[in-house]
Amino acid sequence: MRRRMTTKALMKAIQTEPVIGKYLAGRLFGWGRRATDEAIRQGQLPVIDGPKQPVPCAWIRKQLQIESETQ
């Protein structure tokens, strides 16, 4: 069984990592897996092309209006 990343750990990840998985990013916006996939199809959630389609953390911080601690 997979363990879900806590909200605290997820917020730390968007401050320190360059990208996170698309479904983790979707959780930050209150979306489930289907809603996340639909947001990607509609261009509402930008992803980097590849097998896992990661989402840039800089974009997430901008959308959530969060200042990066590393800046």
Report the predicted TM-score, pTM, of the whole model to 2 decimal places. 0.84
Higher-scoring residue by pLDDT: 4, 47: 47
- pLDDT of 5: 85
**What size, in residues, is the chain?**
71
Burial of 19: CB neighbours in 10 Å, binned 0-12, 13-18, 19+: buried
Query: With bands split at pLDDT 50, 70 and 90, how would you rate the model's confidence at 4?
Result: confident
Predicted local confidence at residue 3, as pLDDT: 77
Tens-place pLDDT, residues 19-61: 999 999 999 999 999 999 999 999 999 999 999 999 999 999 9
Residue 13 has pLDDT above 80, yes or no: yes
